[in-house]
Amino acid sequence: MHTNLKTLRFANGISLLIGLLMIAGVPAYGQRGSRETIDATAFGTSTQLGRNFGVKIVIYEFSSPEDRDILVQSFQQGQNDGLVNALEKMKSVGRISIPGTLGFDLSFIREIVTPAGRTIRFVTNRKIAFGESYWSTQSKSFNLTAGELIIDDKDKSKSGGVLFPAAQLIVNKEGELQWELNQNGWKLTNIIEWD
């Protein structure tokens, strides 16, 4: 009798554990089923030519169309500063890690499906280091980090992208949106996706 009671309690405990794991495994609205990690190598261009480093992007979920609308409205109302303020208020949807830094939370990540694969665009408000803001007042306006990954599922050698570590979004003379950079962009290659 005592052994049967122990077996029954054990079976009930296992059933409860399985039930909890099933509930926890159901993704919430707007989230991917699991996080995705993308590794890349950043190669310097122009003045950074010959330098390279690894970049890791972790995607928790993709941003919603409503998030995109908020950013567009914020930019229309306050230009680059309005965009930065809106990004600061958004929850993190991913993270980018660059050697030598603590990394940054990504505030906006968008996935665009293409015939060959997909394009992933990301942007976040960039943390300005004390030394950088103390010595250079110009760099305070370059308060965004942005980038784009082009993932070609048919031919991996065509995958690549770009990283803008210090940028601001402006409207050029033709009235079009344009990235203005404090540093040259970094070319992203050797894209590896981890699910």
The domains of the chain are located at: 31-194
Cα dihedral 75→79→82→87 (10° resolution): 60
pLDDT in tens, 168-183: 777 667 766 667 777 7
User: Across all residues in the chain, what is the average pLDDT?
Assistant: 74
Asked if the model's pLDDT at residue 76 lies above 70, the reply is yes
pLDDT in tens, 5-14: 555 454 444 4
User: How many of the other CB atoms lie within 10 Å of CB of 158?
Assistant: 13
pTM: 0.71
pLDDT in tens, 9-45: 544 444 433 443 443 333 333 444 578 999 999 887 7
